[in-house]
């Protein structure tokens, strides 16, 4: 492992220099990776591994849209595409990548398919850490491992194709074979990680659930709405409110942050913007810190996971989810966003 200084704290990370792809292929040479679920992470991880020369099969419900998507992507029914149970029986590393609620529902069918020495792989610690809610308790004679890419499946695939990779955390929950860490790192490299950093199943799920509900999605959407609504209430046009709230962030400023950090973004803005940002960032930090603390405690207590499992297990959940997403899509702010995006040169 390489030791990297993260803001004055040394952390160990694994890059292609420490664990090159050729070594990953050697470790996985006698393995068959069964990717269960062809939804969000499944396609990206399966395709990246296949492109890297790893033996990959896919498990998905026959006749579903995602079954057809796997066929379109080159997986062949009866050869590299099977039902969930058939794929789990054939695989030696079983990537359990269906939804969290789906993992709970399918577990009674998947557990009997696991063989001694197999590796049960997750990209999220949810089912294991909240096993009192999910019932996902692995047998003692398998490895239980995790690689969690820090991005959506779409980003995992696109970053792989452009050669940049995407950062991922990794963890070992149960090491039956004595090779669990080596298998984990090999799969982590094979799915296209830019670099891998160690974590635990517990830390991964606590940070992930907090991040999704916080800055990455929930907070971001809520802050967008708040600023847009205030600007509109004071007479600003939808175009002006959307550009100042979303478009400038996503098309300009966040790219500067990604390039060299927040200070770099500040340094490349006007002095008026710099001063205002520096004066107000503390106000926003202090205002939202109690909300984040409450959120973190709700994640740790299991309150948030209970909500997820109950909601996602409801028979009409897909319909209710579509209504919620349509409400967002059809709000003035995001209809303005659609109009703004349509006016981008590449879309005209």
DSSP-assigned beta bridge partners for residue 172? 145
User: CA 139, CA 33: separation in Å to the nearest integer?
Assistant: 19
Q: Is 309 exposed, middle or buried (0-12, 13-18, 19+ CB in 10 A)?
A: buried
- Long-range Cβ contact pairs of 303-307 (< 8 A, separation 24 or more): 304/209, 304/213, 305/100, 305/126, 305/130, 305/133, 305/209, 306/133
Torsion angle of the four alpha carbons 341, 346, 347, 348, in this order, in degrees rounded to the nearest 10: 120
Catalytic residue chosen out of the listed positions 43, 80, 124, 245: 124
Q: What angle do CA 8, 12, 41 make, to 5 degrees?
A: 115
234 is catalytic: no
Between CA 2 and CA 15 the distance in angstroms is: 8
Rounded Cα–Cα distance for residues 199 and 67 (Å): 33
**Which amino acids are annotated catalytic?**
124
């Amino acid at each position: 492992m390489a030791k990297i200084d993260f803001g004055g704290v040394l952390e160990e990370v694994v890059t292609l220099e420490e664990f090159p792809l050729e070594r990953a292929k050697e470790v996985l040479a006698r393995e068959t990776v069964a990717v269960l679920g062809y939804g969000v992470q499944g396609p990206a991880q399966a395709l990246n591994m296949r492109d890297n020369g790893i033996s990959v099969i896919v498990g998905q419900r026959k006749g579903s849209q995602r079954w057809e998507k796997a066929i379109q992507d080159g997986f062949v029914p009866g050869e590299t595409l099977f039902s969930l149970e058939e794929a789990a029986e054939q695989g030696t590393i079983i990537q359990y990548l269906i939804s969290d609620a789906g993992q709970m529902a399918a577990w009674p069918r998947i557990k009997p398919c696991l063989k001694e020495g197999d590796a049960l792989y997750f990209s999220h610690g949810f089912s294991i850490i909240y096993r009192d809610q999910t019932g996902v308790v692995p047998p003692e004679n398998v490895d239980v491992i995790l690689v969690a890419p820090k991005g959506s499946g779409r980003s995992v695939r696109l970053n792989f194709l452009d050669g940049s990779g995407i950062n991922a955390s990794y963890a070992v929950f149960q090491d039956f074979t004595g090779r669990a860490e080596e298998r984990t790192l090999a799969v982590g490299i094979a799915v296209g990680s830019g670099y891998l950093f160690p974590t635990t199943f517990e830390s991964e799920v606590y940070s992930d659930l907090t991040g999704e509900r916080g800055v990455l999605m929930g907070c971001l959407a809520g802050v967008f709405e708040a600023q847009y609504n205030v600007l509109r209430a004071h007479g600003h046009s939808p175009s002006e409110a959307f550009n100042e709230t979303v478009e400038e962030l996503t098309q300009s400023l966040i790219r500067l942050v990604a390039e060299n950090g927040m200070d770099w973004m500040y340094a490349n803005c006007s002095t008026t913007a710099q001063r205002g940002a520096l004066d107000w960032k503390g106000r926003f930090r202090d205002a939202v810190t109690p909300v984040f603390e409450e959120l973190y405690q709700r994640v740790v207590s299991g309150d948030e996971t209970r909500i997820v499992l109950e909601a996602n297990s409801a028979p009409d959940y897909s319909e209710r989810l579509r209504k919620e997403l349509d409400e967002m899509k059809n709000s003035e702010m995001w209809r303005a966003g659609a109009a703004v995006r349509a006016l981008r040169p590449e879309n005209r």
